[in-house]
Structure 1
């Protein structure tokens, strides 16, 4: 928000210099980002009038002028500006003047003609970059007056950086209102006299979308002067607020927006062909040509103001070219509407441009003063563009659906506790009085009804913040914590996601942090997901959906590294994925219809180990990464069950189970995906559910047996497709049910033999038995345990090898 200091002081003028004023605004929460003067230092420049102007005899572009600079005699000055002419008033740098850049003006001779000064452009005085000609001053500029004093060039431009919740401060009056509250200086608001109608001209307006437009005020004015010039005072204020003067009507609309925070729109009444306006939501297939010349396709997400039923403007964002005012406009319809915040937010991002109007409506605009602001705009239009034939219609003010201003209660003791100071209740009351809030007070609390221009007052903490910032942040003491802080011990059976990150780092993986929104192709390639959650306003066109997997981001970073000649890559990410789930409701940490579990995913590419003389080089494979997953899950024991997944090699992938719950997947990237993403070789990837890994078992003490363990080897044959893991799981399941296996402490595979062209494979297991009492495991007990294991294996299709 940029404005001139003099404009602000016209409404609130505290007795403090510019630096103190900027400090007061900053400490009140309106951070002053920059303070600059209108013009850099210079001296010796006055208002002058060109009395005569003739062509230089020895030049085709110079002019010899006689200039009245208020000295009592005419000065001869040679000037080369194309717009110099007799009668114009311009800045004149006198002999001895010093211009920006330490440029001194001296008596000189140009091609034989004496020049007693210099006529200046705005650029030569450091005011603007306009160097097309002299700075032409108004006809009523007093000759001989110092130009800095006449044009208020010692005024300052103040730029404040606002937080998104302070939409009320996007106007000079809004800033003045806060300055009044902070300093106590009198607040003088612009007068808004009622302009009596002089005709019955009314443009019918129909609002069909109360969730789009809460209030619509309008007025017809006919018989205006289309050639009227914007007054210099208004042009100065606009230009010093960063707005270029365009035409009188456009300037009035921009001025009111900057002064009052009220975006308005002027329609050329004669270009409204249907002689009526409709406010509704857009429809699929419609389009509108805007004031910036762009034609935008719209749908039901955008609000539109229609000429009859034809979209003419984007509601709250930008007017349309079809009904825009031109240099020939003599009749206008003024619109001052209240558009609901939710109906405007996000639309500009999707349209790929922003407007000052939308910037304000997104944050909330005062909905209680539409009619008064129409009267104010009317007065400005009549004062600047009015003629004897001007006719003014009545104000048509439709109130459809205004936001409810719910009272907010602030407990006095709660305020003191949060701020940390014993602020008197009378000071709190003075805060609300200066802010213009309507309130009631009891011994325990204040109940405040927020004004229509303060959309940021919703909860108790908002009122506490108002008390703190007006009381003065600088008055708050720096105090150390008064309570002893004790570290709370974590539960022994749990671990944090950071523990998983640390374990991945130990395994040699580097962590990534990727966007949660990804290209739609990733979801189809890596998750087989044809219906991901789509973003309404993506930050980039290709990042259009929310991810349900992390592998796409890992592969993307792998490509990035391979393009930079990396040969061995180990990366991982721990983050949330976003899955549609109708069972999820809205909550403090949830969004309706979206489940957001945390996943950890890893990718390994290149050699299994760094190049060294002790280990032969070989590419990383499924079993290397399987070992990494087992270490990540430990002390939990994962099981790996053959299964196919989108994006993974169907013969080299598996589901990961912990107990009976599937917690993730592991495998080599599918050859088709490898080719699509232009990878030289297939990486091995895995992805696991984080929450399933955070709860672990607690170690249980058991005495070490006094006797040596007994080991028996068992060799069986089975069909080639039989999964070894299923055989091991079956034996462990029987361990708790079959008393013959009560002393079993370990059962694992140690050998596999698969002859070529054989119809069976041979598996060799080790069975370990440990005595749990005082007596060792006998041969009879060992034989019974072996028999029990064989019974289980035979039920699973494996027979003892001959």
Structure 2
């Protein structure tokens, strides 16, 4: 946002405040100054009047001018500017003047003709470029007095300030908005606008225009009309300011609209009446409709003229032939504009979107007044009487707060009167309930970013100045940081550490996976499709960690690894798009890489070895036979239970999958992290007495499940039985279709040493119970 001190001074009296103070104050209230440029016209450059201008007899582009600079005799000056003409007031550099470029003006002869000075362009004076010729003066910069130094004209000796604004401060994208904030910061009232005298009008706008809006909209519109008699010229003061904001418009009316927008923040559009009217005397109907994208379309006889605050179509754009022009001022809720303009990349939009999506000025009459003040000094423009408008009736947001709570939030005491004064200067309507000590602040529509008491607090601190709030020591009383999120993080970290300690390497993969590979493993694709995938091989949200682990294992095997152990913690997505965290483990090939300690070729990994590794990582588990996982071998797969709840599965990868991926014997395990139990470890009193162990070799059918034996023994509830585990399976031709299962029993009493008779009695009880299952001793 670009402002100048002179321009700013039209809205707030800062004539006695230096530009450095203004910059410092802008920084302190959160409007960061990005740059400061000062323009100073050198001495000996004065107001001149071109009395005559004739072509140079020895040049096809030079002119010999007679210039009156208020002295007894006029100066003869040779000028090469294409726009120089008799009757102009110009900037004339006298002999002895030193230009900003360092050029010293001296008496000279150009093509044989004496020249006593120079007629200057804006750039030669150190100003911004206005045209390709000399700068023609007019009384918009002040009363023109021949011979008066240009350094005495404030408009030409100005300071330009560029302010960086955050996206929520659309209210400061205008001179008026910046002045409003400085009014509160400097405690200086805004200047009242001087009402211009109404001139004779051509006719009422109601005779050519009717505006309709059938639906309730979150915005407002104001229409006025003008008629152009002759060519419209922009005054020097306005041209200088338009150059400072890099206005690229070519049509003078569009330049005036840009000037009024930068001054007030109101969004303007101009329409050529004759392009949309059937005849000059016809009356047109403007319809405002809500578009599919939520924006507000402006229509005339079903022709779309544009969308408010977003873009204008070519249907009725003004050009050099336009005579009757409709001026539209509009305001739309910035949320509506932002959603409509940025929700679709193909949506047309122009430079107005930047301002309207951040919040333009809703008081449209303010912009119209400034615009028609500009038109009133130009006799080529005749305004139509009256206006047509559509106003929205949305209620202002009211924020209620207690001044004591606000001061506590700020960290220092601020008098309630000071709070009220600051908010009023910022445009808030204030009501006070003295009994309840409550302040009710109506938020102005141009401050759509003010939503709650914290935002009010920020405004007060901003205007008071953070440097003016005394610092206090930090009071910090910490509570227990442990919560569910922290506990989950700690548990996952412990599992990862334990997995690494037993030889697993951690993997990190994309959250996307190959839909084709997942389908081959039997997984259903997630219904939530990726609109713009990275590539065809990563086009689906992964429902499992196993596929990526298998792919990583395959790459390691192809790189001559004999033993591959991998794990991953990651998020997966169910068929319905439900997200959850999983732990995946994989072991493939040998139990470990060949070394001198384990020989040239260690044994292959097997189910029991892999399951034992998983148990070492996550704690005690139980396995129950399963055939639910299609890509696992039906002979080597099981569900994993922990504390009676199923938390995942384990098993060998199906042989067909191993062959298809060139894998050796491979085992995988996938656990639902949310279902895993992480109970605190409780220290128990241990027995000081020795334990006694006994082995029983049982003859059972080959297909008899060990789980039946385990449940049968546990139902006896033998207190002295510390643990029992299968330690050996033996089969030979003498046993036929049976096998010998050896179980090791460990007995220990907490209060005494067990006698052999007691242990034998327990063993007899166990064997007699097992006989009921048809199980005998070998």
TM-score norm. by structure 1 comes to 0.70
Structure 2 counterparts to residues 550-589 of structure 1, below 5 A: none
Aligned to 2:716: 739
Is the contact made by 2:724 and 2:746 (CA closer than 8 Å) also made in structure 1?
A: no
Structure 2 counterparts to residues 747-758 of structure 1, below 5 A: none
Q: Distance in 1 between matches of 2:664 and 2:61?
A: 75
Of residues 655, 671, 691, the one that matches 1:708 is 691
Structure 2 counterparts to residues 119-158 of structure 1, below 5 A: 127-128=127-128, 133-138=132-137, 150=153, 152=155, 154-158=157-161
Is the partner of 1:710 in helix, strand or coil?
strand
Q: Say yes or no: does 1:187 pair with 2:177.
A: no
Of residues 366, 370, 388, the one that matches 2:364 is 370
Aligned to 1:261: 265
Of residues 161, 174, 178, the one that matches 1:175 is 178
Cα gap change, 1:56 to 1:355, in 2 (>3 Å): same
Is the partner of 1:200 in helix, strand or coil?
helix
Is the partner of 2:36 in helix, strand or coil?
strand
Aligned to 2:222: 218
Q: Say yes or no: does 1:198 pair with 2:204.
A: yes
Q: Distance in 1 between matches of 2:535 and 2:324?
A: 42
Is the partner of 1:328 in helix, strand or coil?
coil
Is the contact made by 1:177 and 1:187 (CA closer than 8 Å) also made in structure 2?
A: yes
Structure 2 counterparts to residues 72-87 of structure 1, below 5 A: 74=75, 83=82, 85=84, 87=86
Count of paired positions: 732
**Per-residue CA shift, 1:197-247, capped at 9, x if unaligned?**
63532534333442xx23433325253248423333223223323433432
Aligned to 2:18: 17
Q: Distance in 1 between matches of 2:188 and 2:481?
A: 55
Show structure 1 runs of 5+ residues with no match: 284-299, 582-593
Structure 2 counterparts to residues 585-734 of structure 1, below 5 A: 634-635=618-619, 637=621, 691-693=674-676, 695-704=678-687, 706-708=689-691, 710=693, 712=695
Aligned to 1:588: none
Structure 2 counterparts to residues 335-354 of structure 1, below 5 A: 335-352=328-345
Is the partner of 2:405 in helix, strand or coil?
helix
Q: Distance in 1 between matches of 2:485 and 2:100?
A: 77
Cα gap change, 1:236 to 1:133, in 2 (>3 Å): closer
Q: Distance in 2 between matches of 1:253 and 1:552?
A: 64
Aligned to 2:428: 437
CA RMSD of aligned residues (A): 6.1
Is the contact made by 2:586 and 2:667 (CA closer than 8 Å) also made in structure 1?
A: yes
> Shift in Å at residue 473 of structure 1?
1.4
Aligned to 1:295: none
Aligned to 1:466: 459
Q: Distance in 1 between matches of 2:462 and 2:682?
A: 55
Aligned to 2:287: 278
> Shift in Å at residue 75 of structure 1?
5.8
Is the partner of 1:306 in helix, strand or coil?
strand
Q: Say yes or no: does 1:243 pair with 2:247.
A: yes
Of residues 301, 321, 325, the one that matches 1:328 is 321
Larger radius of gyration: 2
Aligned to 1:99: 100
Q: Distance in 1 between matches of 2:97 and 2:412?
A: 59
Q: Distance in 1 between matches of 2:410 and 2:127?
A: 45
Aligned to 1:532: 528
Q: Distance in 1 between matches of 2:55 and 2:588?
A: 82
Q: Distance in 2 between matches of 1:693 and 1:189?
A: 71
Aligned to 1:397: 389
Cα gap change, 1:94 to 1:261, in 2 (>3 Å): same
Q: Say yes or no: does 1:2 pair with 2:8.
A: no
Is the contact made by 1:39 and 1:154 (CA closer than 8 Å) also made in structure 2?
A: yes
Cα gap change, 1:86 to 1:331, in 2 (>3 Å): closer
Is the contact made by 1:750 and 1:766 (CA closer than 8 Å) also made in structure 2?
A: yes
Aligned to 2:281: none
Is the contact made by 2:225 and 2:326 (CA closer than 8 Å) also made in structure 1?
A: yes
Q: Distance in 2 between matches of 1:360 and 1:216?
A: 16
When structure 1 is superposed on structure 2, of 371-380 and 238-247 the one drifting more is 371-380
Aligned to 1:450: 443
Q: Distance in 2 between matches of 1:670 and 1:366?
A: 69
Show structure 2 runs of 5+ residues with no match: 279-283
> Shift in Å at residue 474 of structure 1?
0.9
Aligned to 1:315: 308
Cα gap change, 1:156 to 1:728, in 2 (>3 Å): farther
Aligned to 2:34: 34
Cα gap change, 1:266 to 1:85, in 2 (>3 Å): closer
> Shift in Å at residue 23 of structure 1?
1.7
Q: Distance in 2 between matches of 1:137 and 1:605?
A: 87
> Shift in Å at residue 425 of structure 1?
2.8
Of residues 304, 317, 320, the one that matches 2:297 is 304
Is the partner of 1:414 in helix, strand or coil?
helix
Cα gap change, 1:244 to 1:310, in 2 (>3 Å): closer
Is the contact made by 1:599 and 1:687 (CA closer than 8 Å) also made in structure 2?
A: yes
Aligned to 2:232: 228
